[in-house]
Amino acid sequence: MNTLNLVLAAVGEGRIRGGWGYVWTAYGIAWTGLSLYALSLWARWPREERK
């Protein structure tokens, strides 16, 4: 019964355990990339439009 519980627990989480490091790296890169680009757009904004 013990092994069955272990197997069921494993299947519940997926064969790859954890992996949050990868997830945070990925989301971090995406958000950083988008933010930096947004910043570059603001920096390049045509001067006449700025208050």
Partner 1 sequence: MSKPLRIGFVLLALALLVSGAWIGLAWAPPDREMGHVQRIMYMHVPSAWMALLAATMNFGTCVAYLWKASWKKDAFAEATAEVGLLFGTIAILLGAIWGRPTWGVYWAWDPRLTTMAILLVAYAGYLALRRFVDDPDRRAVWSAVVGIIIAVDVPVVYFSVKWWKSLHQVQSTPKTVDPQMVLALRWNAFAFLAVLIIFLVARYRIALASRMRETTVPDAPSGAREAVV
- Where does this chain bind partner 1 (CB under 8 A)? 11-20, 22-23, 25-27, 29-30, 33-34, 37-38, 41, 44-46, 48-49
Q: Which is nearer to partner 1, 6 or 22 (CB)?
A: 22
Q: What are 16's two structure tokens?
A: 């790859």
Q: Is 31 helix (H, G, I), strand (E, B) or coil?
A: helix
Q: Looking at this protein, which amino acid is placed at residue 49?
A: E
Helical residues (DSSP H) of 1-51, grouped into ranges: 2-13, 20-44
Closest approach, Cβ 3 to partner 1, in A, equals 19
Closest approach, Cβ 16 to partner 1, in A, equals 4
